[in-house]
Structures are given as C-alpha cells and as structure tokens.
Chain A
Amino acid sequence: MAPQDSSTTVAAPTDLAPGFAGIAEDWSSDQRTFKNVPWGKAMMWIFLLSDTFIFSSFLVGYMKVRLSTTTPWPKASEVFALSFGGEPIPLILIAIMTFILITSSGTMVLAVNYGYRKDKNKTALLLIITALLGASFVGMQAFEWTKLIVEEGVRPWGNPMGASQFGSVFFMITGFHGFHVSVGVLFLILVARKVWRGDYDTEKRGFFTSRKGNYEIVETMGLYWHFVDLVWVFIFAFFYLW
C-alpha cells in the first residue's frame, strides 16, 4: 500500500478518458476544480456571473417596457447631444465617457502586469490612474444626470419628450452601473494603498477576508473592473444606439 505522503501526484491530463467523461473527471479532480486559481479569484468569477444575471434582468426589463409602452420613446441622439458653439453634437459626452472607461481598462491591465512582476510603485501608480479615470467617468455621469434633470426636465416618473419609462430605466440602470464604478474606484484606492505600503510583499492579512494578501488580489480587482467596463458597452449600445 502506498504511504500517505506518496510523491505520486494527480494523474496527468493525458490520463483522462476521452470526451465528456474526461471533462467530468478533470473538473471533479482532487481538492481543487480549478488548479492554481486562488479562492478570491474563483469567488469573483462566480460573483460576476451572478451580477451578469442582475444586469441582464435589468436590460431585459428595459427592452420589455420600451416595447410595451404606447408613447413614443425619446430620441437618444437628441436627448444626449451636447452643444459646442451652437452646434449640437450627438452623443459626444457619452463617446468621451466610453473612451475614458475603456482606457481605464488598459491601465488596469498594465497594473496587473506590473503586479505580477512585484513592481509595487508602478502597480500602485497605475491603480491610482485607473481609479482617477473611473472617478472622472462617474463625474461626467453626474454631469449628464444633472443636465437631464435640470435642463431637460427628465424625472424617473416622467419627462417632456415621451414615454415616462425613458427616465425610469435610464436612471435605474445607469445609476446601478455608476454605483458599481464608484465601488470599484473605492476598492482601487484601497488596493493601491496596500500595494504602496508593501502589504502584498509581506503577505499582510486583509481586514475583510482575514486571508493573507498577495498580488493576485490586483488581478481579482481587475476582473471586477473589466466586468464593469464590459457591462457599460452593453448599456451604451442599448441606451444610446437603439
């Protein structure tokens, strides 16, 4: 009988049965289903899956109310236009916001990259830049909301341009997304601070998780941030281009 601490490890992938049985065998493998995936990251993926269902439900709800209302839907290109020197440019603010958010995904990727090289100054700097870009996105969203509310008279329960659901879904869904971005900014700052202090070099325990910290947290943070970005692409398409 082989001793408990036998040096034989898990069967190599080549030993797996072909086809579906092999997939099942691989997934059900010893101790961990996803090898080398830290707990926090696995948890983030599953949370994002759940969150995807929330956003999908919101967007399906939006489509349904938009299809079932009999009042005409306001024209996005007009409502969301900004005037520069008297000429209204459709969707200009949104274009800038989208550009900023996509850029912030780029800086986030770089932060993860430098995180894995344990280059703490560059990582922290890139995280802060990402947070700043995120904050400016939220700022512009606040500006957009103010303009809609104050100048165009859009309210959650009604608006002068058409179907009352226009304001309802707009404030609800962009608000929910903006909340996600704001939470992200907050955590980006927290993670940046920890990176800066060197918490991840010394594996200092996190307050929230009470687990040892390391640079994989930067990647987990990145997953969230890219998700929030990706969701924005859908919101953008459904609200501003439809």
Chain B
Amino acid sequence: MSNGMLEETQVVPLAEIEEVDLYHAHHWITKYVFSQDAKIIAIQYSATAILIGLVGLVLSWLMRLQLGFPEVFDFIDAESYYQYVTMHGMIMVIYLLTALFLGGFGNYLIPLMVGARDMVFPYMNMLSYWVYLIAVLVLTASFFVPGGASGAGWTLYPPQAISEGTPGIDGGIILMLVSLVLFIIGFTMGGLNYVVTVLQARARGMTLMRMPLTVWGIFVATILALLAFPALFVAGVMMLLDRVLGTSFFMPEMIVQGEMTSHENGSPLLFQHLFWFFGHPEVYIVALPAFGVVSDIISTHARKNIFGYRMMVWAIVAIGGLSFIVWAHHMYVSGMNPYFGFFFATTTLIIAVPTALKMYNWVLTLWKGNIHLTIPMLFCVAFILTFLNGGITGLFLGNVIVDIPLSDTMFVVAHFHMVMGIAPVLVIFAAIYHWFPKMSGRMLHEGWGQFHFWITFLGSYLIYFPMHYLGFIGVPRRYFEIGETSFIPPSAATLNEFITVVVLIVGFAQVVFIANIIISIFKGKPAGDNPWNATSLEWQTATTPPGHGNFGDELPVVYRWAYAYSVPGVEADFVPQNMPPDEVKRTDTATGAVADDPPELHQ
C-alpha cells in the first residue's frame, strides 16, 4: 500500500450515502413474521434451513441402516432407498447449505459487518425468504404425492430421471423441479440485495479492502450463485417441459420397458453440461463463505491478524472465477474428447493453487498466535483438517485416468462429503458458536459444546475415512445392496456396519447441540456486547442483539481493517474497526502521536 494511502486513512471521507429511514413495523406480524429486518429474515432462513437439514440427516440414517444392515429393515426397499439418496443430496446441498450460508449468515452478517442499517431493498429481501419457504414446502410435499419423491439421484440425470421405472416419476420429479425453480427465483431476490449492499451501502471508511473476509466470501459466493443458478434454472425448465409437455430436449429415442417412448433425438449430455455448469460453482458457493468465516474466527480466537489479507481476497476472487471453467471434471466418464479432458483436468488442478494458498495462510495465522481453544476455534481447526483431506482426494479425482476407476464408487462419496459435506457443516457450527452471543445476547454452554465438537469431528472422520478405502476396493456408490461379488471382501460389510453405528451416534449427538441452543436462548450466560473481544463492526453495536437499524442513532465510522489484533504498542490486544485513532490507548503515552501509529492500524 502506498504511503499516500496511509495518510489518507487518517481522515475520514464525507458521508456519500444519505441516511435511509427504514420501514418501521407497528404490529407483531410485520415485526416478527413478515419482517423486513435482515436480522429477522436471517433467523427465519436459518431456522427453515436447519429444519429441512434435519430431514436430510434422518434420510442419511435410513440410507446407512440399509447399507450397514442389508435385508434387516423391511420398510426400506430399493425404491425408497433411491428416494432417500436423492432427497438427502438435494436437501443438503441446496436447501440447507446454500440457504444457510447466503440467506442465513449473509442476511445477518453483511449489513452488520459493512456498517449498513439494513439490506438496500428490505421488502424484496423479505419476499426472498417467503419464496424460499414455498420452495421448501413444495419439495417436502413430494414425499407425500402418489409415487413419492424422485429417486433420480440429486444430479437428476436424464433420460433416467424422467423415464418409467424411476421412483417419483409421476409427481416427485415435477415437484422437485418446480421447487428448484422457485428456490432460484427466491434466491435471486436476496442475492441481488447482498451484492448491492456490499458494493454500494458501506459505512464511512469501509473500503472493500477493509471488509472482513466473511463478507468477501459471502459476496463472491453470491455473485457465483447469481451466475451459476441460471444454468440450473434453464435445465430445470427444459426438463419440466420434457416431462410435462413431452418435448425432447434431453430425451433420446429409446425403448423403456419394452416400448418406444415418444421422445426423439434429444441430448442427455446437454443436461449434464448445464447441470455441472451450475454444479461446480455450487461447491464454491458453499465453500467460499466457509473460507471467509474460518479466516475471521481463527484470527479473532488466535488474537492475531489474518496472514496475507490481500492474498486471501484475491484467492477468493480467483477461485470464484476459475470455478466456472472446470465443470466437466464431473463428466469424465460421460465420454469426452481427450483434449477437453486435458483442458478440464488442467483447470481443475490450477484451482488447487489459490486454495492451497488459503490453507497456508490459515496455518500461518495460527502460527505463534495466542490461540484460545474455544469451541468456534476448535471447529475451525477441524475444518482446516477436513478440507485439506477432501482437497487432496480432489486432486486424485481431477485427473482423468485416476477418476475413471474411482468414479461412482464410495471414494467419491467420501471425497465430496469431506470437502462440501462435513467441512462446511463444521464451519456452520463454528459460526453458530461464534455469533450466537450476538444474535441472542447469551453464550452457548461451553462443556456441551466440547462434547458436541469432539463427537462430531472424530465421528465424521470415522465415518468418511473408511469410505475412501471402500471406494478403492470398488464398492459402488448409489447401490441399494452390494450382494455377493468376487472382488469385494466380506470385511467390507463389517466396515459398513461400523460406519452405520458411528453415523447413528454422531447423528444423535446433534440433539445436544439443538438442546444447547434452545436452553441457552433462555438460560445461557449473558454475553455482553463483545464476548470474544473482536474488532469487526457487528460486535460494536449499541445493543445486543442489535436493534432495528443495527447501530442505534449513529452509523459507525471505520478507521482500519478488521484484523487489528495484538497490535504492538497498543494496550488492548484488539482495536475495533470503528475506534478513532486518538482514542486508542497506547502502552507508551509519550509516543501517542499519529506519525507513530503502527501500520496495522491503517490497513
């Protein structure tokens, strides 16, 4: 940063944005139900996402029961197994993780962290949640229609997804597609708000390069979503037309159950391209907010500035950009010109560079830090380990020749659960333990948190680590029952039993977490305004939880970046972003002059 900038930061620019007055609710319905306050919307989004996520969790138990103890449970037949797989995958990826990270954390944290009163268009923001809720209800309804939910796998590949013989072909798949289209419409209304709020409604002094990385992660992820969901939208509309009107976008001429279908000459590959053009960025839609949250939490709890802030920002942007040109690594087995395979393998491996850079920077942030092993910190360290593991298996799967034998085995299931199943969920836990005190004014219980953490972290490793091995010896994915084969040893069945037992233990341990939340809302230790001694703006609000309009009478003015921890020469080990430089207490009062400010104060 040039010296000119350094001096410039000592004066605060004039306000460019007029104070906006907000819609004031007069009735409890407009205050708590049809609320336009981003914080309430955030809680609504989060609660809905977590509830539907629990449905996804229960579905995973049912699948594991079948895989661990085949032929024991009569109520699980092949059809319902496929329905569980499909609904589990779709619910977890879209309706839990995407909604929770962007609709939940995005709504809560963006306005608070950038110093805005609310999102730029609160009414639209409110609509976003209600459309999301309808999408969730439509999806849930598909369990109850005749024929049940779709069993096409969460990738919904045609022609199988809409052909006779696949479960849920009558109503399930239609409701699934309608629900996805609704989700995208609802998300777009929220997503536009998040992006414009970050770009155009920041507090005085809050440049983009002073924003906490959480906001950067959510911001770039939202842009990815706004550009990637269109492909899913189009694929969904086309498949709906194929199913309902009998068009042939994706459906080739074929014989199903002995009869010619009325479709002709469609292109199933087109669907795969559209789906994965959305699907790969989707991985980063979930991962980038997690990256951001982890950066902020480890910096706060290690009392040290994030290592290489600018590098971290550019890495987020670079990963976001690259994620649009790697999609066909999901299609190596679909048949592809070798040159394309080469291209997509190369871009896939290139993405590892900015990602590895982030890993190093996290480790270097922790290096020699004053590490407090709080629950959020534990979950973040667990994330780093899990994501590293998933990232490394990703390098295997990114190579065409290695992927071809591993594709459609349990190895893939282990990989994507490590990287986008477990890792982001660990960050969600970290974030809830970290920000719950701001949202409720009370701390979550520490001891129960420890219990929850160790069971969840060790349990996830016990579940997914052996799956890599199962994949290597050839246990296929999406199989209702393996039966007797010549190449899978009987010990695989024992391993499967073990995994199922761990799944149930880990699953039930989540009850502790939910109970911790519910009890702490009422009985938790009062948290005060800033229990973690954090620097970013959401911890500096006048009241906790923050009131309508977030910051009381006056909007904060920002003087520095969000990572002023353990600044040399300063008494406290943190300097809030909005503390004017002349109020910062220095250890040596003689040198309180501005010229001696350590550079960390001016980033």
Interface residues of A (CB under 8 A from B): 1-2, 4-11, 15, 17, 24-25, 27-35, 37, 39-40, 42-43, 46-47, 49-51, 53-54, 56-58, 61, 64-65, 68-71, 156-157, 163-165, 167-169, 172, 208-211
Least distance between B98 CB and chain A CB atoms (Å): 15
Whether the pair A57, B206 counts as a contact (CB closer than 8 A) is no
Whether the pair B196, A172 counts as a contact (CB closer than 8 A) is no
Instruction: Tell me the complex Cα distance, A168–B228, Å.
Output: 24
- Which residue of B is nearest A56, CB measured? B230
Whether the pair B249, A211 counts as a contact (CB closer than 8 A) is no
The residues of B that contact A70 with a CB separation of less than 8 Å are 265
Q: How many residues of B contact A (CB 8 A)?
A: 67
Instruction: Tell me the complex Cα distance, A4–B12, Å.
Output: 6
- Which residue of B is nearest A165, CB measured? B248
Q: Is B465 an interface residue (CB 8 A)?
A: no
User: How would residues 580 to 594 of chain B score, 1 for a CB under 8 Å from any chain A CB and 0 otherwise?
Assistant: 111000000000001
The residues of A that contact B142 with a CB separation of less than 8 Å are none
Whether the pair A10, B227 counts as a contact (CB closer than 8 A) is no
Q: Is B11 an interface residue (CB 8 A)?
A: yes
8 smallest beta-carbon distances between A and B, as pairs: A28-B208, A53-B230, A57-B234, A168-B247, A54-B230, A69-B265, A157-B246, A2-B11
- Which residue of B is nearest A54, CB measured? B230
New contact pairs (19) apart from A31-B203, A33-B200, CB-CB < 8 Å: A6-B11, A9-B14, A24-B209, A25-B209, A29-B207, A29-B208, A31-B204, A34-B199, A39-B121, A39-B200, A43-B192, A43-B193, A43-B196, A50-B229, A57-B233, A57-B235, A65-B248, A65-B249, A168-B245
Instruction: Tell me the complex Cα distance, A211–B249, Å.
Output: 43
The residues of B that contact A15 with a CB separation of less than 8 Å are 4, 8
Least distance between B34 CB and chain A CB atoms (Å): 13
Q: Is B536 an interface residue (CB 8 A)?
A: no
Q: Is B266 an interface residue (CB 8 A)?
A: yes
Least distance between A15 CB and chain B CB atoms (Å): 6
Least distance between A202 CB and chain B CB atoms (Å): 16
Residue of A2, A5, A65 touching B266 (CB-CB under 8 A) = A65
Whether the pair A156, B196 counts as a contact (CB closer than 8 A) is no
The residues of A that contact B20 with a CB separation of less than 8 Å are 211
Least distance between A216 CB and chain B CB atoms (Å): 13
Most B CB contacts (10 A, CB to CB) among A9, A46, A56, A156 go to A46
Whether the pair B12, A58 counts as a contact (CB closer than 8 A) is no
Least distance between B166 CB and chain A CB atoms (Å): 20
Whether the pair A32, B202 counts as a contact (CB closer than 8 A) is yes
- Which residue of B is nearest A212, CB measured? B20
Instruction: Tell me the complex Cα distance, A5–B17, Å.
Output: 14
Whether the pair A32, B226 counts as a contact (CB closer than 8 A) is no
Least distance between B553 CB and chain A CB atoms (Å): 14
Whether the pair B4, A30 counts as a contact (CB closer than 8 A) is no
Instruction: Tell me the complex Cα distance, A129–B24, Å.
Output: 38
Residue of B207, B248, B274 touching A164 (CB-CB under 8 A) = B248
Beyond A157-B262, A210-B23, is A31–B17 a contact (Cβ under 8 Å)?
yes
Least distance between B205 CB and chain A CB atoms (Å): 6
Beyond A7-B14, A68-B265, is A28–B195 a contact (Cβ under 8 Å)?
no
Q: Is B238 an interface residue (CB 8 A)?
A: yes
Q: Which residues of B (191-226) have their CB < 8 Å from a CB of A?
A: 192-193, 195-196, 199-209, 226
Instruction: Tell me the complex Cα distance, A237–B200, Å.
Output: 37
